[in-house]
């Protein structure tokens, strides 16, 4: 998705490569703090350059938004690393006695599986907010976060760092509506959230279920959706029936009563014409009458009958 222009959105919207490669001079802070990413590079030989460290010296961030990793995908990446090495360095920052991963935890995990002892890194210094934003954006750009992890990351940016939804949307190159809809998923019952994480439901199903406020009813509906493999539209219909059972039942009874009326009319017309008749309803007061005939002679008979009526 094309990044919006201006502030932090311009830096992060281009992707992480722009942040990692632009090391020739320090970034200048702009007047608006919320739209500024000020990167302080460490002094000495490690200043913004790629160098190798022992993998044992590198650890993931405890506040990384991504919590789940596909084991099969990690094994595939590990096999690739065995053959070609780590092609893209990790973005890290120096802690007391180790390097904390800001971007690249998946590569780090795969490298450990591959038995790699040394790993390429780029060292920079970030504030806690910048580290969260970069981790979030890297995972969103690579489509690595599940819907609940993504929503939780947005919530953290809002609650801990007081960012507005418009600002978050700009920084992750998404619409404000997309961010809002993502965060609404956190209102789901925790069991339903887990079903979404486990890919038993889609975000479309989950958004439909949000209308059910009772958590147990919501979970029961989610189970029904999964068991019966309902589509999103069928899920929306199910939710409507759950929320308005009396109204739905009244509508069904009204439809059945109306069906009986039209069946009686069909029989009445059939008695007059002497042939099978079907009334096709299009709306409450509109429709068409179909008269069946089974030979040319019968058709001519029906026409003559209608002419007498005229």
The per-residue pLDDT for 207 is 95
The per-residue pLDDT for 137 is 73
38 and 138 housed in the same domain: yes
The per-residue pLDDT for 13 is 38
The number of distinct structural domains making up the chain is 3
Rounded Cα distance between 310 and 298, Å, is 19
Domain boundary among 142, 177, 206: 142
The per-residue pLDDT for 279 is 85
82 and 20 housed in the same domain: yes
Which parts of the chain register pLDDT below 70?
Answer: 1-48, 63-68, 139-144, 246-254, 284, 310
In a domain, 163, yes or no: no
In a domain, 265, yes or no: yes
54 and 103 housed in the same domain: yes
pTM, to two decimals: 0.51
**Residues spanned by the domain of 24:** 7-142
41 and 111 housed in the same domain: yes
In a domain, 79, yes or no: yes
The per-residue pLDDT for 63 is 67
User: Is 105 an active-site residue?
Assistant: yes
26 and 97 housed in the same domain: yes
The per-residue pLDDT for 187 is 95
The per-residue pLDDT for 43 is 47
194 and 269 housed in the same domain: no
Considering 105, 133, 138, 150, which one is annotated as catalytic? 105
The per-residue pLDDT for 14 is 37
Per residue in 168-203, pLDDT (tens digit) is: 888 888 899 999 999 999 999 999 999 999 999 999
230 and 128 housed in the same domain: no
């Amino acid at each position: 998705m094309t990044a919006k222009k201006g502030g932090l959105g311009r830096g992060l919207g281009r992707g992480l490569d722009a942040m990692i490669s632009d090391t020739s001079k320090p970034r200048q802070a702009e007047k608006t703090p919320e739209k500024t990413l000020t990167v302080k590079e460490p002094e000495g030989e490690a200043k913004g350059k790629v160098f190798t460290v022992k993998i044992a010296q590198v650890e993931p961030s405890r506040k990384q938004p991504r919590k789940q990793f596909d084991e099969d995908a990690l094994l595939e990446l590990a096999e690739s690393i065995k053959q070609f090495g780590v092609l893209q360095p990790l973005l890290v920052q120096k802690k007391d006695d180790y390097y904390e991963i800001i971007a690249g935890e998946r590569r780090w995990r795969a490298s450990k599986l591959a038995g790699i002892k040394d790993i390429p890194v780029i060292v920079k210094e970030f504030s806690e907010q910048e580290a969260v934003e970069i981790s979030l954006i890297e995972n969103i750009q690579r489509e690595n976060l599940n819907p609940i992890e993504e929503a939780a990351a947005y919530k953290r940016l809002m609650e801990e760092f007081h960012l507005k939804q418009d600002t978050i949307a700009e920084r992750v190159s998404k619409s404000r509506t997309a961010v809002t809809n993502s965060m609404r998923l956190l209102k789901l019952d925790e069991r339903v959230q887990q079903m979404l994480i486990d890919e038993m439901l889609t975000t479309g199903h989950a958004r439909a279920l949000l209308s059910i406020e009772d958590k147990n009813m919501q979970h029961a509906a989610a189970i029904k959706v999964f068991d019966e493999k309902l589509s999103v539209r069928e899920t929306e219909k199910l939710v409507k029936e759950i929320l308005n059972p009396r109204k739905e039942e009244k509508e069904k009874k009204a439809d059945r009563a109306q069906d009986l009326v039209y069946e009686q009319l069909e029989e009445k017309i059939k008695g007059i014409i002497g042939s099978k008749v079907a009334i096709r309803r299009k709306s409450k007061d509109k429709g068409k009458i179909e008269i069946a005939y089974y030979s040319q002679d019968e058709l001519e008979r029906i026409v003559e009958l209608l002419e007498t009526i005229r």
